[in-house]
Amino acid sequence: MSPRNAFYAQSGGVTAVINASACGVIETARRHADGIGTIFAGRHGIIGALTEDLIDTGQESAAAIAALRHTPAGAFGSCRYKLKSLEENRAEYERLLEVFRAHDIGFFFYNGGGDSADTCLKVSQLSASLGYPLQAIHIPKTVDNDLPVTDVCPGFGSVAKYVAVSVREASFDVASMAKTSTKIFVMEVMGRHAGWIAAAGGLASTADCELPIIILFPELPFDEQRFLARVDDLVKQHGYCSVVVSEGVRSADGQFLADQGLRDAFGHAQLGGVAPVIANLVRERLQYKYHWAVADYLQRAARHIASKTDVEQAYAVGRAAVEFALAGRHSVMPTIVRENDWPYRWSIGEARLEDVANVERKMPREYISDDGFGLSPAGRRYLLPLIQGEDYPPYHDGLPSYVRLRNVAVPKRTATNFALK
Amino acid sequence: MSPRNAFYAQSGGVTAVINASACGVIETARRHADGIGTIFAGRHGIIGALTEDLIDTGQESAAAIAALRHTPAGAFGSCRYKLKSLEENRAEYERLLEVFRAHDIGFFFYNGGGDSADTCLKVSQLSASLGYPLQAIHIPKTVDNDLPVTDVCPGFGSVAKYVAVSVREASFDVASMAKTSTKIFVMEVMGRHAGWIAAAGGLASTADCELPIIILFPELPFDEQRFLARVDDLVKQHGYCSVVVSEGVRSADGQFLADQGLRDAFGHAQLGGVAPVIANLVRERLQYKYHWAVADYLQRAARHIASKTDVEQAYAVGRAAVEFALAGRHSVMPTIVRENDWPYRWSIGEARLEDVANVERKMPREYISDDGFGLSPAGRRYLLPLIQGEDYPPYHDGLPSYVRLRNVAVPKRTATNFALK
């Protein structure tokens, strides 16, 4: 009996290292051709399964698959498409199984965050109840770092490194200019619901290179007076300061600062960032010159300055997912287990999807300094290991050589044209 | 007779490699202690000379000076302070010479852009007319790339590389998301008066990795209809596109797009970026989801992804300035001479300050594609050599090891307290 095939899909916002997980899945599966047949990938994530738009990764050369390890974003395409609950749209789940059955898919590797863990669990449950043998395994990925059980979500460490490096560099810049010009540099980072990424800005300041940095966390309501007083203190003491602000910072009444009534010339609400709001506030109240940046996709796509630790972990969870599958496991997710803080030692663990799906990990308050504007020693102890090491991509003529796969389509086998809701 | 001393100052906006020029100056001068005595640096640029706030670089270790080569921003502090004309404020120039005389300074190395070249020339002329022997030599530096004669301004190549790498990475990201989510990524870059930096975004797309990119240049009036049509074309063809927009883009009536009437809740004008203006326009007219980023200081401080070519050129112009001084030259600026496009070969040349001061180099129209939205082959031929090679800084515990100098003050010798205007 020939081994059954596998389906792999990328879900949600992509990262600098999600392709490293794909690389881990495919390379490991190829080494176990006796246990796993073809790896199909979903074109644009789970949509590729629903519409039977499968990619035959067997058509890619070993070199192309190896290059996934150093290529950012989602090589097969991702999507923001959350399956509804089984009760609301059972047809979607049944359609997945129909496509899986048509292609003899016995392994489902779903690479994403909390929503995809939930989908993965439901597919697993439904396949069991329908008697269709399927091993569903979730592979963690999210820059938001909000999955439980695992020490860290692959993808986060590289964003953290990008933010820490950038804040250090920009702080050096503003320090140079502060005498006659810019005194405040504001950098907006991702993290609508949690301050993990903003916290990483605090890593830029170290004992051997202290920098005046203020962090604005979404976990704490924005206190304008205390913030301005802190800015003024730091400028008087150091001549300048940097502010790292999470896109999710809210005022005491719960409103996002980024939404505070910006209007264009026609009175339309403008989706501005929170960085210019903070910068303008400083200018109006303290009359300090400022510059501001919004990193947006640059932070999560920055494979050129990825954390080596993160790349290794992303690859490892992909490899482990296949090893779990070969060991007969299902409804699980490989996790990163922290064995030691410093030097950082980690191993691969296993979480049950029941314990992962719909559980959001919050950043502990103890990771934030008492005054609410910085990283605490506990926060530093947690974060610093995650940005260790550099893992530079190869360059060709001055630019990183990122791979684009052939992404050859697999002929359809079902007669159904499934309409996405 | 002991050799006379030198004064070195950094001027205007700093770059990822201006310290590499400082490194070239100091290391070269140290090797010629028979020709040049102590190198004094101005704390906060020329202000350090006016207020007699000099730094004794002789107090820095060889290792610290060597580390300047990989440290971004201005290690001695820079300033935005333009000396007035000789007629308007002769006292400033005379004060400079007073301080130079008090410290037996016979060499003036001024590291900056067009304004500082002009200052350097005037100081040279005044010293000659007053019979004070001074060799004034300008060292080119500006991310704006607007100095004449030289093939490129050190500092620009690294910004160009940062922008090219970032646009490639973000394009991979948005390509992954485009099926169900973001279709347009807008990245704002520096260049209020010229599109050199925006043009570098076009380098992200190469024959072996074509990417749909639109560039908005400050040289061309923004044509909303044509722009939207181009965005729509690219999205229909590729599923997504990236837009690189210069902060200096203006509408046909000459108004900066960034200033187009953004108001906060109180009706105050908001200094927003141009990226959100472009992004909102696309959303309103084409209903495409977007993300936008403003790179700001991150682009010019990004020593972590500096161009090796740029680093070498920055060091070379610093070294050449000292060699020119030792050869008895004055009122000159070392330049980069392009010997060959590809493979890029360059050498050091010499420009007279009369030919540099107050001459602004514009970007040739022929560097822009005929349709006005991209880089032409001629533009690529010019730009591509400048981003060649990587020159990674050393890292310690996951962060780049950038040096901070001791910056020991030199005891004052003049009795005057000069008040800055």
Q: Which residues of B touch A297 (CB under 8 A)?
A: 169-170, 173-174, 182, 185, 291, 293
Q: Give how far A98 is from chain B: nearest CA, Å.
A: 23
Task: Write phi, then psi, for B249 (nearest 5 degrees).
Answer: -65, 135
Query: So what's the pLDDT on residue A260?
Result: 64
Contact at CB, A398 and B164, closer than 8 angstroms:
yes
Query: So what's the pLDDT on residue A264?
Result: 52
CB-CB contact of B142 with B192 (8 Å)? no
Query: So what's the pLDDT on residue B260?
Result: 64
Q: Which residues of A touch B392 (CB under 8 A)?
A: 390, 392
Percent helix, strand, coil in chain B, to 5, is 40, 20, 40
Nearest CA in chain A to B77: A176
Contact at CB, B168 and A400, closer than 8 angstroms:
yes
pLDDT tens per residue, range B269-302? 555 689 999 999 999 999 999 999 999 999 999 9
- The predicted model scores a pTM of 0.97
Query: So what's the pLDDT on residue B157?
Result: 98
* Strand duo B332-340 + B345-352: pairing: antiparallel
Measured distance CA(A135)–CA(A152) in Å, rounded: 24
Contact at CB, A262 and B268, closer than 8 angstroms:
no
Q: Which residues of B touch A398 (CB under 8 A)?
A: 161, 164, 203, 307, 384, 387-389
Query: So what's the pLDDT on residue A156?
Result: 98
Q: Give how far A156 is from chain B: nearest CA, Å.
A: 14
Query: So what's the pLDDT on residue A78?
Result: 97
| Non-local CB neighbours of A19 within 8 Å, separated by 6+ positions | A68, A69, A71, A72, A73, A74, A75
Query: So what's the pLDDT on residue A84?
Result: 85
Query: So what's the pLDDT on residue B83?
Result: 86
- DSSP one-letter string for A189-235: E--SS--HHHHHGGGG-BTTB---EEEE-TTS-B-HHHHHHHHHHHH
pLDDT tens per residue, range B103-131? 999 999 999 999 999 999 999 999 999 99
Q: Which amino acid is at A329?
A: R
Long-range contacts of residues A220-225, Cβ cutoff 8 Å, at least 24 apart: A220/A368, A220/A372, A221/A250, A221/A251, A221/A252, A221/A254, A222/A249, A222/A250, A222/A251, A222/A252, A222/A257, A223/A252, A223/A372, A224/A281
- Which DSSP symbol is given to B179? T
CB count within 10 Å of CB B85 equals 12
Nearest CA in chain B to A274: B272
Identify the segments of chain B with pLDDT beneath 50: none
Which of B354, B383, B351, B353 shows the shortest CA–CA distance to B367? B383
- DSSP one-letter string for B154-165: TTHHHHHHHHHH
Q: Which residues of B touch A294 (CB under 8 A)?
A: 273, 275, 292-294
Residues A61-71 as b/e (b if ≥16 CB within 10 A, e otherwise) read eeebbebbbbb
Burial class (CB in 10 A: 0-12, 13-18, 19+), A149: middle
DSSP H helix total and E strand total for chain B: 12, 13
Contact at CB, B298 and A169, closer than 8 angstroms:
yes
Which sign, positive or negative, has the C-alpha torsion A131, A134, A135, A138?
negative
CA angle A57, A58, A61 (to 5 degrees): 90
Query: So what's the pLDDT on residue B271?
Result: 53
CB-CB contact of B406 with B57 (8 Å)? no
Contact at CB, B297 and A170, closer than 8 angstroms:
yes
Measured distance CA(B307)–CA(B309) in Å, rounded: 5
Measured distance CA(B195)–CA(B368) in Å, rounded: 9
Nearest CA in chain B to A10: B176
Contact at CB, A272 and B268, closer than 8 angstroms:
no
Identify the segments of chain A with pLDDT beneath 70: 260-272
What are the E-state strand segments in B307-414?
332-340, 345-352, 395-396, 399-400
Which of A421, A411, A415 shows the shortest CA–CA distance to A53? A411
- DSSP one-letter string for A39-65: EEEETTTHHHHHTT-EEEGGGS-HHHH
Tokens of A206: 């170290």
Which of B389, B396, B419 shows the shortest CA–CA distance to B305? B389
Query: So what's the pLDDT on residue B372?
Result: 98
Query: So what's the pLDDT on residue B261?
Result: 55
Q: Which residues of B are catalytic?
A: 144
Query: So what's the pLDDT on residue A19?
Result: 98
Q: Which residues of B touch A172 (CB under 8 A)?
A: 71-73, 301, 402
| Non-local CB neighbours of B341 within 8 Å, separated by 6+ positions | B381, B382, B385
Measured distance CA(B105)–CA(B41) in Å, rounded: 11
Domains in chain B and their CATH numbers? Answer: 5-142+306-358+391-400 (3.40.50.450), 156-301 (3.40.50.460)
